[in-house]
């Protein structure tokens, strides 16, 4: 045992130096290899089966990483950075994991040439900074509805909604532009509701909310037009005392008086609600049976146990205000909906709160034939929403199909030639890594990646910076003209995140893993749990 190891507990396994770097790089490459075949419109699907036997079939990188359990700490870093990509810009998780893995693979070649990790890190970071500037330089404006629609269609190509991507792109753009305020956009303001039975092309945008609820009382109306909507987050029930109490009742008259007092309290509460002019009530908590009866007698629709997230969306959609006590409720706190109706289909009950005036929360109602199909459509729609939101925030886009990566790589090589020393080598490797994206797109489509990359390089050297892969035709063409465009923010975030995690892993030269039981070593193969 080495002297430095003698001070380390026997329950701590230690890997250091070049071996630690190799293990970490291997783990990152495993994650990248898992996702590699899913990239692009002709990427393959993965079948994920959990311990309960639940099956998921998808090529969505975020979903794959979410469902898989990785054991190696370096692999977990790649997963974390991919999840950040999904959270920040809504797409590009596969790209960021792939770029990070290949950056580390190329770094390993430089390490084998005895180039110090610090020099590689410096070169990578310099290359990433130049790449960001190049992206800004070649980006073009994308604020028009048509541009946003094109971006949404590109994001959904190759996913479950591809057959109806034009229809969903229209719905997505309408939804985002409806709830966006300037360049700010809250993803939670758009609710996706999946329902079986109708054709997928019948999916629609509801100017308001759709809730999976049913009316509280059978005698309540099933539909109300020009509805004034009350939003209450307090239970319309007798309140339980905060401290333990006891009531002594010695006669039937006392019991009757006690019950009458309860009913008077509930009736007063109901009358207060009715006096505001409300025709529809959404309550976050419970509603007593007595209150339900009085509300039904007054012709008021009521819904109980509405989730907080839906209450907040209802407030944005109807323009109402959520109150915490029934006595706070006033007429000017009520929201408005052109129609509130309950529709029952089989065992499912949906409440439509629609025809709202300038709603700041809307619902995408997605139809499909099976749960697996609906789940895949939902993932595709969420990707579309994410990229459109990113485009609205930055207002810029770049050509897709690998065109932007080839162009950035070409310009980086030009900058690398002006440098000297080992930093130059790192920047050249960084440029080669970017070309992995078009190469993988070609490979997943059954094309020769070497020939494709060589042809793209030739065309870009000739000044055609929008030339990329149109895999719907299996050809190289102007992706800008073909409508294959992606938000600038997605590409910037992917390069930045991949560089960050790759340089972080390269700086690690010692891995110490604590365990409950003493262990001599942790197998290098234990990347997946």
Known catalytic membership, residue 289: no
Question: If 0-12 CB within 10 Å is exposed, 13-18 middle and 19+ buried, where does residue 525 land?
Answer: exposed
5 Cα distance to chain centroid: 44
3-class secondary-structure state, position 523 = coil
- Per-residue b or e along 90-108, where b marks 16 or more CB atoms closer than 10 Å to that residue's CB: bbbbbbbbbbbbbbbbbbb
Q: Cα 43 from chain centroid?
A: 20
Q: For residue 363, what are the contacts with CB-CB under 8 A and spacing of at least 6?
A: 190, 191, 192, 193, 205, 206, 208, 209, 210
Question: In the annotation, is 45 catalytic?
Answer: no
Compute how many other C-beta atoms are within 10 angstroms of the C-beta atom of residue 84. 16
Active site residue 383: yes
Q: Which helix (H) or strand (E) holds 345?
A: strand 335-345
Give whole-number Cα distances, 104 to 237, 238, 476, 491, 526, in Å. 61, 63, 29, 19, 19
**Does residue 502 sit in helix, strand or coil?**
helix
Catalytic residue among 38, 56, 58, 93: 93
The DSSP letter of residue 375 is H
DSSP string of 6-74, one letter each residue:
GGS-TTEEEEEHHHHHHHHHHHHHHHHHHHHTT-STTPPPEEEE-TT--EEEE--HHHHHHH--B-SHH
H-only helix segments in 238-279? 252-275
The number of beta carbons lying within 10 Å of the beta carbon of residue 323 is 16
Active-site entry in 38, 58, 60, 150: 60
3-state secondary structure 146-183: HHHHHHHHHHHCCCCCHHHHHHHHHHHHHHHHHHCECC
Task: Single out the catalytic residue among 383, 440, 499, 503.
Answer: 383
- Beta carbons of 58 and 379 less than 8 angstroms apart: yes
The β-bridge relationship of strands 190-196 and 362-368 is: parallel
CA distance 58 to 159: 8
Q: Pick from 141, 190, 148, 188: which is nearest to 170 by CA?
A: 148
* List 94, 150, 318, 436, catalytic entry: 94
* 356 neighbors 336 (Cβ within 8 angstroms): yes
Residues assigned a catalytic role: 60, 93-94, 383
């Amino acid at each position: 045992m080495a002297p430095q190891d003698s001070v380390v507990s026997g329950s701590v396994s230690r890997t250091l130096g070049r071996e630690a770097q190799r293990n970490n790089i291997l783990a990152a490459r495993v994650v990248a290899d898992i996702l590699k075949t899913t990239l692009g419109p002709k990427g393959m699907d993965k079948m994920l089966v959990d311990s309960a036997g639940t099956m998921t079939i998808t090529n969505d990188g975020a979903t794959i990483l979410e469902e898989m359990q990785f054991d190696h700490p370096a692999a977990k870093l790649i997963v974390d950075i991919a999840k950040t990509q999904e959270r920040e810009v809504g797409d590009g998780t596969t790209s960021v994991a792939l770029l990070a893995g290949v950056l580390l693979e190329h770094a390993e070649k430089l390490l084998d040439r005895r180039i110090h990790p610090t020099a590689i890190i410096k070169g990578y970071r310099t290359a990433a900074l130049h790449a960001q500037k190049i992206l800004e330089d070649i980006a073009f404006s994308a604020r028009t509805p048509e541009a946003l629609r094109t971006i949404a269609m590109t994001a959904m190509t190759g996913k479950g909604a591809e057959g109806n991507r034009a229809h969903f792109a229209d719905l997505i753009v309408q939804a985002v532009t409806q709830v966006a305020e300037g360049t700010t956009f809250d993803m939670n303001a758009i609710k996706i509701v999946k329902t079986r039975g109708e054709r997928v092309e019948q999916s629609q945008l509801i100017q308001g909310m759709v809730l999976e609820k049913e009316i509280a009382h059978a005698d309540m109306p099933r539909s109300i037009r020009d509805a004034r909507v009350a939003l209450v987050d307090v239970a319309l029930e007798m309140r339980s005392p905060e401290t333990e109490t006891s009531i002594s009742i010695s006669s039937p008259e006392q019991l009757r008086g006690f019950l009458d007092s309860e009913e008077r309290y509930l009736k007063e509460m109901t009358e207060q609600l009715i006096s505001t002019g409300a025709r529809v009530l959404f309550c976050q908590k419970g509603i007593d049976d007595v209150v339900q009866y009085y509300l039904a007698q007054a012709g008021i629709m009521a819904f109980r146990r509405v989730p907080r997230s839906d209450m907040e969306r209802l407030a944005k959609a109807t323009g109402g205000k959520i109150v915490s006590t029934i006595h706070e409720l006033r007429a000017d706190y009520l929201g408005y909906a052109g129609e509130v109706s309950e529709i029952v289909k089989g065992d499912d009950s949906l409440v439509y709160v629609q025809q709202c005036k300038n709603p700041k929360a809307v619902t995408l109602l997605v139809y499909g034939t099976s749960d697996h199909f609906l789940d895949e459509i939902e993932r595709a729609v969420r990707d579309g929403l994410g990229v459109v939101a990113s485009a609205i925030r930055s207002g810029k886009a770049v050509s897709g199909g690998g065109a932007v990566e080839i162009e950035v790589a070409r310009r980086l090589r030009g900058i690398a030639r002006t440098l000297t020393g080992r930093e130059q080598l790192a920047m050249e490797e960084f440029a080669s890594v970017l070309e992995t994206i078009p190469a993988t797109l070609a490979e997943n489509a059954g094309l020769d990646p070497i020939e494709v990359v060589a042809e793209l390089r030739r065309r870009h050297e000739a000044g055609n910076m929008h030339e990329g892969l149109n895999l719907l035709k299996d050809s190289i063409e102007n992706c800008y003209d073909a409508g294959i465009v992606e938000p600038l923010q997605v590409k910037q975030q992917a390069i930045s995140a991949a560089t960050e995690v790759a340089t972080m892993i390269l700086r690690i030269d010692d891995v110490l893993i604590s365990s409950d039981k003493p262990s001599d070593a942790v197998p290098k193969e234990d990347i997946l749990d």
